[in-house]
Chain A
Amino acid sequence: MASVAAWFKERVPLSGAELAELTNEPVPNHLKRWWWCLGGTPAYLFVVQILSGILLAFYYEPAPQTAYDSVRYITEEAAFGWFLRGIHKWGATLMVAAVVLHQMRVYFTGAYRKPRELNWMVGMCLLVCTLVVGFTGYSLVYEQLSYWGATVGANIADSVPVLGSWAKQMLLGGEVYNDRTLSRFFILHAAVLPVVMIALLAVHIGLIRLQGVTEFRFADEDSSRPKHFPFFPDHLLSELAIGLVLMILLSVLATVLPVEMGPRADPFSTPEVIKPEWFFYVAFRWLKLFSGTFAVLSMGLIVFLMFVWPFIDARLRRNRPSEASVWIGILAVLAIVGLTVWEAAVAH
């Protein structure tokens, strides 16, 4: 045993103490409260998505002629296929929800402020990647929603001045949805975006590791007690507990509300109701409120402002402490919730 350990030590020159030092970062006390731990949740769900996605990819065939039937095979015939698909689908929903909750916490606690502006921007990149991976994901099923969702998405891209038609071409692999579109979506969904997200996550976590977690101290805390507790095993156990609860939640959702097969994509039959996945409801409602190029450009502007928010906030706070960000945040969340609920509530 000792010789095996020595063999490894020789090739991986890292001692147990160094490893503990690397991983066992002191964690601020506020993270004992589990609802402050939502940053780890999307990461955990990302792993679930990768694992379930790999299993689904064993059966999935990305071509218009075969995609729908292969998903139907997964859903109706493959052993536990329905469960895996349910986990993947509900995992995506929970992942987006967890990202939003995490971002809300970061925003309202000002955790994006100097010196963590860059990490906020990396987080924004992760948010965009999550949404795009969701979009390309439901496009793969080749249901009516998939086909027409992709077509509507491409047309939205097309309405962007100058770059629009190029973006549409890149998305669809042609002027219109064609035989090559699905394979494009599949590669984006199953290879390109996950790799990009892994890289971004590495940077995101690396920056947290370098700068430490933003520290909060609540009024009811005993100031004489230590401000930190060890990552391992205390915090890791909290994360594991959250992970297990998430798995239970995912299993319940996948079982009680299994994913159904929608109608097969029919390029010649526009459905009366086209709705994207719920996490695009806010954008979809926005597009309906302000039609055309204005809607697309204004949405782009909002996303850009979100990107650079740490700098705007710094500007606002340059001369005197300002809580404008809190009020703007409340309004933004209310707007997002309102538009999403509105879109969900109406048929058209």
Chain B
Amino acid sequence: VTLETKRIIVFVLSLLFLISLLFVQQREVARRRAEAGLEQAQVAVPANSVDCVDCHRETTPGIIEHWQGSTHAEKGVGCVECHQANAGEADLFSHYGAQIASVVTPLDCSRCHQQVYEEFQRSHHAAGGNILASLDNFLAETVEGFRGQFDPHSPTPGGGVGARVNGMASAQSGCQQCHGSKVGLLTTDGGKLTVDDLKPGPDGKPTNTAALEQVQKTAEGKPLLHPGTWPNTGIGRINLDGSLGSCSACHSRHDFSPRRARQPENCGKCHLGPDHPQKEIYEESKHGVAYRDLIDDMNLDADDWVLGEDYSAAPTCATCHMSGNLRNGGRITHDPGERISWTNRPPISLRMDTNDKHKVVTETDPAKRAALIADTWQQKRTRMQEVCSTCHTADYVNNFYQQYDDFVQLYNEKFAKPGKQIVDSLRAEGLITKAEFDEEIEWTWYYLWHHEGRRARHGTSMMAPDYAHWHGMFEVSERFYMELVPQALELAEQAEHAGHAGGAKVRAVVEGILARPEHRWKDHAQAAGTAPAGSAPAAGTPPGAKGETKPH
């Protein structure tokens, strides 16, 4: 071998080595970037999902893209693992040889995430579908819509969407997209089969299999889902297998992103708007301001995302209500109620003492109440304070809770209980009907507690002063004094004119409330002929007015 040949050998082998080095470094850099969370990890499609991926890459490429970026894909969890269905399941169908179902329920997820499933099933989130029997639902189904279908009253230029009007459209597109639908299979007569008809057992399979014969199917044999109930990712969805909720409400289907579930924008799909503007409240709070500023320091891609360990720049909704923190050993919960000490959802806020079924105890007798409580509001508060204390001292946290408790109590005692008492007395005396929303005062009361009252309480609970005051208590008080009380007195007066004895009783209730020290400012101001705010007691202030603002 001549020196020239050797030169060529050295050249060729060196070139080969350098080219291989380029390839190796490219792989190495890609792997490091993936480890650092900067790039999608290399995904090997599991053998049982190769056909699904190949076909759906053409038909629904977005789904495949989402899945490929998921932790599921990284860990070898493919299409079949989640969509697989067993013989006997209501929505099972054979799809190119695989037995699958379209709707993946929490029961399906529990095959791998059992503890998360149990926490979630007992949560208030999972019970969101109970709205089906609530005032809000009555509004959407009856006041805004119609429980059934009706004929259009005139033609729509360009053509209508159907022969008849779907009266449930508002409930289906509004309420149920957050609270969850009762998923139904479409029947051959256009009706639906839900969990009520199927009566599933603990394994999720229907016990009333005869009902399945009515299900409408495609030529392929795929059972059709009722369009009024699906698509739906409401967090309290009531599924065909009897499980509650939808994991994709927070984790988004196919990419199942923990990163997204950690961000307040995710919760903002539902927790916003005039009746419970938690998202806007959070944005107003210092917590939200810090989050917006320091989002780059939030380490949102961390595996465990433990407050005080993986990040401490700012808390999000998930931080306080669900995620792990340094104080609790990083324990995550999928039951956000575990850390909430007041429920501000009802007209009158309640302490979050819960029973063994995780329901709020409403019993008022102390002894009976104590016997029913499985988890006290104090225990829940302690759990939340573990989060707070990552960044705040005990005094700071305790004083905040004092402010919060004081506020809720003020709302409860000055407006919520009296407001409810007035409306209840009107109904008890027959001055208004038992039906909701057919009289103006019912709308007034609903605005007071459901919109303004909640805004006030939520504003305080999450430290947003404008929501606590201007969007909250200011509007509560305006609604109470300028609308609720005058409307109640007018109804009482009309009744009195009509010779109805209930009129005097209602008037007595209203006047009794207004005679309380916290409500007498109006009499004093009117007697003084001046606005009271900030002014010294004017001449003519009734004797005894001073010092009468003590709680009764």
A contact residues vs B (CB 8 Å cutoff):
35, 93, 97, 100-101, 104-105, 108-109, 143-145, 216-219, 257, 259-263, 272-273, 275, 277-278, 281, 323, 326, 329-330, 333-334, 336-337, 340-341, 344-345, 347
B36 to chain A, nearest CB (A): 4
- Cα of A347 to Cα of B20 in the assembled complex, Å: 17
**Segment at the A interface, from B10-18, B171-179, B390-398, B498-506:** B10-18
- Least CB separation from B33: chain A residue: A260
Given contacts A218-B3, A326-B1, A330-B9, contact A344 B23 (CB under 8 A): yes
A179 to chain B, nearest CB (A): 19
Give the residue of A100, A260, A336 whose beta carbon is less than 8 angstroms from that of B38: A260
- Cα of A143 to Cα of B303 in the assembled complex, Å: 14
Residue contact A216 to B3, C-beta cutoff 8 Å = yes
Residue contact A263 to B24, C-beta cutoff 8 Å = no
Residue contact A278 to B24, C-beta cutoff 8 Å = yes
Residue contact B27 to A330, C-beta cutoff 8 Å = no
- Asked whether any CB of chain A lies closer than 8 Å to the CB of B497, the reply is no
Chain B residues closer than 8 Å to A145, beta-carbon distance: 35
Given contacts A93-B25, A218-B7, A219-B4, contact A330 B13 (CB under 8 A): yes
Residue contact B13 to A345, C-beta cutoff 8 Å = no
- Cα of A109 to Cα of B10 in the assembled complex, Å: 8
Residue contact B6 to A108, C-beta cutoff 8 Å = yes
B73 to chain A, nearest CB (A): 12
- Least CB separation from B3: chain A residue: A216
Chain A residues closer than 8 Å to B29, beta-carbon distance: 257
Residue contact B3 to A217, C-beta cutoff 8 Å = yes
Residue contact B32 to A260, C-beta cutoff 8 Å = yes
Number of A-B pairs whose CB atoms are under 8 Å?
A: 85
- Least CB separation from A345: chain B residue: B27
Chain B residues closer than 8 Å to A108, beta-carbon distance: 6, 9-10, 13
- Asked whether any CB of chain A lies closer than 8 Å to the CB of B115, the reply is no
Q: Can you give 21 A-B contacts (C-beta < 8 A)?
A: A97-B18, A97-B21, A100-B17, A143-B35, A144-B35, A145-B35, A216-B3, A219-B2, A219-B3, A219-B4, A257-B29, A263-B35, A263-B36, A275-B31, A278-B24, A329-B9, A333-B13, A340-B24, A344-B24, A345-B23, A347-B44
Chain A residues closer than 8 Å to B32, beta-carbon distance: 259-260, 262
Residue contact A260 to B27, C-beta cutoff 8 Å = no
Residue contact B36 to A109, C-beta cutoff 8 Å = no
Candidate in A108, A262, A277, A340 with the most chain B CB atoms within 10 angstroms? A108
Interface of B is mostly: helix
Residue contact A104 to B4, C-beta cutoff 8 Å = no
- Least CB separation from B42: chain A residue: A347
- Least CB separation from B21: chain A residue: A97
Residue contact A341 to B7, C-beta cutoff 8 Å = no
- Cα of A333 to Cα of B44 in the assembled complex, Å: 30
Candidate in B4, B7, B23 with the most chain A CB atoms within 10 angstroms? B7
- Asked whether any CB of chain A lies closer than 8 Å to the CB of B28, the reply is yes
- Cα of A316 to Cα of B11 in the assembled complex, Å: 25
- Cα of A263 to Cα of B16 in the assembled complex, Å: 33
A344 to chain B, nearest CB (A): 4
Given contacts A105-B10, A326-B9, contact A333 B35 (CB under 8 A): no
Residue contact A263 to B4, C-beta cutoff 8 Å = no
Chain B residues closer than 8 Å to A330, beta-carbon distance: 9, 13
- Cα of A312 to Cα of B10 in the assembled complex, Å: 21
Give the residue of A217, A262, A341 whose beta carbon is less than 8 angstroms from that of B23: A341
Chain A residues closer than 8 Å to B6, beta-carbon distance: 108-109, 326
Assuming A101-B18, A278-B24, what are 14 further A-B pairs, CB within 8 angstroms? A104-B10, A109-B3, A109-B6, A216-B3, A260-B38, A262-B32, A263-B35, A326-B9, A329-B9, A333-B16, A336-B17, A341-B20, A341-B24, A344-B28
Given contacts A101-B17, A104-B17, contact A281 B10 (CB under 8 A): no
Chain B residues closer than 8 Å to A97, beta-carbon distance: 17-18, 21
Chain B residues closer than 8 Å to A104, beta-carbon distance: 10, 13-14, 17
- Cα of A145 to Cα of B23 in the assembled complex, Å: 20
Chain B residues closer than 8 Å to A105, beta-carbon distance: 10, 14
- Cα of A85 to Cα of B1 in the assembled complex, Å: 44
Chain A residues closer than 8 Å to B7, beta-carbon distance: 218
B301 to chain A, nearest CB (A): 10
B128 to chain A, nearest CB (A): 35
Chain B residues closer than 8 Å to A341, beta-carbon distance: 20, 23-24
**Residues of B31-50 contacting chain A, CB below 8 A:** 31-33, 35-36, 38, 42, 44
Residue contact B44 to A260, C-beta cutoff 8 Å = no
- Cα of A329 to Cα of B32 in the assembled complex, Å: 32
- Cα of A336 to Cα of B21 in the assembled complex, Å: 11
Chain A residues closer than 8 Å to B17, beta-carbon distance: 97, 100-101, 104, 333, 336-337
Give the residue of A101, A218, A326, A334 whose beta carbon is less than 8 angstroms from that of B4: A218
- Cα of A257 to Cα of B26 in the assembled complex, Å: 10
Chain B residues closer than 8 Å to A144, beta-carbon distance: 35
Chain B residues closer than 8 Å to A272, beta-carbon distance: 75
- Least CB separation from B17: chain A residue: A337
Candidate in B20, B33, B38 with the most chain A CB atoms within 10 angstroms? B20
- Cα of A100 to Cα of B15 in the assembled complex, Å: 12
- A-B residue pairs, 10 tightest by C-beta: A260-B36, A344-B27, A344-B24, A262-B35, A337-B20, A333-B13, A278-B24, A323-B1, A108-B10, A341-B20
